[in-house]
Amino acid sequence: MTITESSLPGLYICQPKVVGDARGFFQEVFRFDEMEKAGLALPTFVQMNHSRSAAGVVRGLHFQYDKPLGKLIRVPRGKAHMVAVDIRKKSKTLGKHLIIEVSEENCTVLYVPPGFATGFCVSEGSADVEYLYTALYNPVGESNILWNDPAIGIHWPVANPTLSERDKKAGTLADWLARPEANTF
């Protein structure tokens, strides 16, 4: 497994070794020892989620501040454009984002630590996204940031996405930073 820290400190891109033959393939999706060797201090994962989204869907930008959680994210079916935005108030990369294609073909796994808002877009077909969480989901301790906040400047691969009502009503990064909870990260 090749593990590389991105330009946003704490955010890692993991590329598992895939072994394939006429029967199919095998890959190690998660190896604590390899990630630890790469300098990634992982907490215990306590919850796994799975979602499916159709073409044109944007989900995000979501995060949890009460019981801050990190996410190990992969796409076992289809292709999604993953986005992670640094929302850590004291970070040198505050407001910066990473966008990366994660797919069943490239087998990329993304580790996003607490203090990042995440989202994704499916531009064609449909995609399944799996997340391992480092904390249990807490609906009263979560929030989101507007998917197209101009201060962040994400170039999504769809112009008029399908959004949840919650994501349509999200505030901006500036709105989040003005909240006392923003001091969590």
Active-site residues, by number, are 62, 131
The H or E element containing residue 34 is helix 32-37
DSSP 3-state percent helix, strand, coil across the chain (nearest 5)? 10, 40, 45
Compute the distance between CA of residue 160 and CA of residue 77 in angstroms, rounded to an integer.
Answer: 23
Residues 6+ apart with CB under 8 A from 185: 65, 68, 87, 88, 89, 91, 114, 115
